[in-house]
Amino acid sequence: MKLFGPAELAALPADKFFTQLSASLSDGGRAAAYFASPADGGRRLCAALAHDRAGRLELLLSEPLSDGFPSLTPRFPQLHLFEREIFELSGLRPEGHPWLKPVRYPAGGPDPGTGDFFRVHGPEVHEVAVGPVHAGVIEPGHFRFQCHGENVFHLEIALGYQHRGVERALSAGPGARSMHYAETLAGDTTIGHAWAYCGALEALSGCAVPPRAQVLRGVLLELERLANHTGDLGALSGDVAYLPTASFCGRLRGEYLNMTALICGNRFGRNALRPGGVDFDLEPARAAELLRRLEDVFRDTEGAVSLLWDTASVTERFENTGPVSRADAAALGLVGPAARASGVDIDTRRDFPYGPYSRYDPPKPGRGDVYARAYMRWDEIIRSVRLIRGWLASLPAGPLTAPCGAPASDSAAVSLVESWRGQVCHAAFTGPGGGFLGYKVVDPSFHNWQGLALALRGGQISDFPLCNKSFNLSYCGHDL
Amino acid sequence: MFKELIERFRQGHRTAPFPPGPEKFSDRYLGLPRLTGAPLAKAAAACPVGALSAADSALDMGRCLFCGACAKADPAAVEFTRDHRLSSGSREGLVLGSGGTFRASGEAPPDLRRLFGRSFRLRQVSAGGCNACEADCNVLGTLAFDLGRFGVQFVASPRHADGLLVTGPVTKNMELALRKTYDATPGPKLVIACGACAVSGGPYAGHAETLGGAAAVVPVDMFIPGCPPHPYTILDGILRLINGDIV
Ligand code: SF4
């Protein structure tokens, strides 16, 4: 959660901006966010660059631009979707972008899922189109596979069906609904996004969140991770037709959600976080009950999940399926467990410590296949349980909330939170009165969808569900 | 094989009885709201989505996010019970007046209950929203809720379905897909609008990118409020639709 005061928001002339952006990206910087925001006389580009290993966050701003700008995607593929989004939202055209298509198909443009798709030509090549309405109880998206028999040459993913104007509405804040917008950016990441939103506001208003609230936020965030990782391991198991773990984990995921409900009444952690702190206390009796349940459920999780690693028919399907190389993962700017599973050693909890996190030690990086992504989830489950145990053993006393006043004017705040899918980035810019000039949300899925597409290359179309579950990306978090 | 059996033995039988006992809900769970009759002005001012009307002394559960801000602002005016049964067959049925008692409703006509009472297949359409409602529908398929024991199942194709369960405010980008899915479902069919978004647009009510709920596109037979509704609220709504007043 970093505040940038008016003095740190000097705009660079366009040529300097792109030189500096290229230099930072070549130097190992990762675009946590890259977007256009309104400025006097047009739109300016803003890049929030995370130098993960150095723990340094850099904010670059350009002077207002009026039409086009040079696309850096050919050199830095991690910018590909950011530049498409800039074009869609601001009309500033990234000249030389190799695949300048809509991102969310807002009204007034082409219908979602229409237009050009990347095509492979040849006598035996065929195309498979899936969605927007899928077979399961899941969100809508459109998938185009270019296939040769069972083999996938290329997968293109077209989203935007969940586009409901939530980022646009957030930009008009802060207001009565802002907190609820944040909590519903991606429902399964309620705590992750709520924390990022609160973090941005708190940075802007100079509010110091009390230690007890910080720890309680940490407990909720790790419970969210536990629920989702456990649920996904069950779903992966179901996708290779290994039903014991699938049914165990289906229940266990619910038990973790119920622990969140024990704290705040809602299984997803709605209304638990508010700017300044948390809205619910964890009294000693409740903390004891939470710990008791956590130990029980973790024991069952361990029993259910260890079956996976001991079952040859499971590991055989997980291993070497959907590989993403370290180089590709880094070039695409993947985040979260998907990145770590491919050997990209980044984790916001260690690189940009916030709240109660200090000296977090992420699991060893993996080798990039479904197995690695699954095992990474398990490794993180173990660590989340350890974190919660440690926090509950020495819960700081003190208030649950501190006053969070009006945001500083003409400032910016960038807020980074490691949600279960990876880094959530919120960037807020305020105008002269402290109201938002712009509010940018980057869900980890925004970085990672292209990773899923790449995982399918050269694989079998029948591996799609398995690869998809191993990433389990958010449609609504992407579509905003 | 033995490992699986040992683990199965250790974890035991986990399917929960229905209807659920109060122990299934957190003591902080916010269920059915109640208006005490005190003036609502203060509580209404705290509501982020305009679900409370001081002029009409009413609370529209269809819009409500169950955030509790109203009860916090004025505990003398709004209270929350832990009753999870919230469904209604009509949109107006979700509007609570002060003092009145709410009774969950929404049973389908007798001929449809005869038809679907023991076997009801639903196609879920996610049309905007945040995926929390979908998650709480998915959870009904786990062994804890065991939806199948009621003869209800989510199916892969509208062609196999007896009805739709719609979540989300229906974005403009999903309007066509929802319409097509509805048309592809053979009649007679029933439609459930699940969650604040599908009922009223939820937190996105008024957004130009959305249509403000499922009823803007398809006829709705059952409204289930909540943001998201508790899985037991959804289950109660589905069963009430096909079986009438069961509990
Ligand atoms: S609980 Fe419902 S009525 Fe009360 S403030 Fe929240 S949204 Fe409004």
Where do the domains of chain B lie? 30-83, 110-243
| Domain residue extents for chain A | 2-95, 178-442
The pLDDT of residue B22 is 86
Let me know if the fold of B30-83 is the same as that of B110-243. Answer: no
How far is ligand 1, taken at its centre, from the CA of residue A4, in Å?
A: 35
| A276 phi/psi in degrees, rounded to 5 | 105, -25
In the stretch 231-250 of chain A, residues with CB closer than 8 A to chain B read: 244, 247-248, 250
Say which residues have a Cβ less than 8 Å from residue A38's Cβ, sequence separation at least 6. Answer: A437, A438
**Residue A134 pLDDT more than 90?**
no
- Contact between chains at A137 and B173 (C-beta distance less than 8 A): no
Q: Residue B98 region, left (φ>0) first, then alpha (ψ -120 to 50), else beta?
A: beta
For the domain covering A178-442, report its CATH number. 1.10.645.10
Cα–Cα dist A89/B124, whole Å: 31
In the stretch 144-173 of chain B, residues with CB closer than 8 A to chain A read: 144, 154, 156-158, 168-169, 171-173
Say which residues have a Cβ less than 8 Å from residue A105's Cβ, sequence separation at least 6. Answer: A111, A112, A113, A160, A163, B173
Q: Does CATH place domain A2-95 in 3.30.420.40? A: no
Instruction: Work out whether the CA dihedral A401, A405, A406, A410 comes out positive or negative.
Output: negative
- Contact between chains at A164 and B210 (C-beta distance less than 8 A): yes
Is the minimum CB–CB distance between A163 and chain B shorter than 8 Å?
Answer: yes
**Residue A295 CA, distance from chain mean position:** 28
CB B68 near ligand 1, within 6 Å: yes
> Which residue's CA is minimally distant from atom 4 of ligand 1?
B70
CB pairs under 8 A between A and B: 176
**Residue A401 pLDDT more than 60?**
yes
Instruction: Work out whether the CA dihedral A451, A456, A461, A466 comes out positive or negative.
Output: negative
pLDDT in tens, B83-137: 999 999 999 999 998 877 899 999 999 999 999 999 999 999 999 999 999 999 9
pLDDT in tens, A27-65: 999 999 999 988 777 889 999 999 999 999 999 999 999
Topology classification of domain B110-243: Rossmann fold (3.40.50)
- Contact between chains at A137 and B137 (C-beta distance less than 8 A): yes
How far is ligand 1, taken at its centre, from the CA of residue A379, in Å?
A: 39
- Contact between chains at A164 and B204 (C-beta distance less than 8 A): yes
Is the minimum CB–CB distance between B45 and chain A shorter than 8 Å?
Answer: no
How far is ligand 1, taken at its centre, from the CA of residue B199, in Å?
A: 15
For a pLDDT cut of 70, what percent of chain B falls above it?
Answer: 99
pLDDT tier, B247 (very low <50, low <70, confident <90, very high otherwise): low
Q: In Å, how far is B73's CA from the nearest CA of chain A? A: 13
Residue type, B3: K
- Contact between chains at A176 and B124 (C-beta distance less than 8 A): no
Report the side by side order of strands in the sheet with A151-158: A125-130, A142-148, A151-158
One DSSP character per residue, chain B reads -HHHHHHHHHH---PPPSSPPGGGS-TT---SEEE-SS--HHHHHH-TT--EETTTTEEETTT-----HHHHH-TTTEEE-------BSSSGGGEEESS-------PPPHHHHHHHSS-EEEEEEE-SS-SHHHHHHHGGGSTTT-GGGGTEEE-S-GGG-SEEEEESS-BHHHHHHHHHHHHHSPSS-EEEEESHHHHH-GGGTT-TTB-SSGGGTS--SEEE--SSPPHHHHHHHHHHHHH-S--
pLDDT in tens, A191-219: 999 999 999 999 999 999 999 999 999 99
Candidate CATH numbers 1.20.1740, 3.30.70, 1.10.3470, 3.30.1490; the one for domain B30-83: 3.30.70
- Which of A49-63, A387-401, B92-106, B206-220 shows the lowest mean pLDDT across its residues? B92-106
Does an H or E element contain A4, and which? strand A2-4
CB B65 near ligand 1, within 6 Å: yes
Instruction: State both tokens at A179.
Output: 């907190």
Residue among B73, B85, B111 at smallest CA distance from B33? B85
From chain B, the residues in CB contact with A475 under 8 A are 131
How far is ligand 1, taken at its centre, from the CA of residue A342, in Å?
A: 44
pTM of the predicted model, to two decimals?
Answer: 0.96
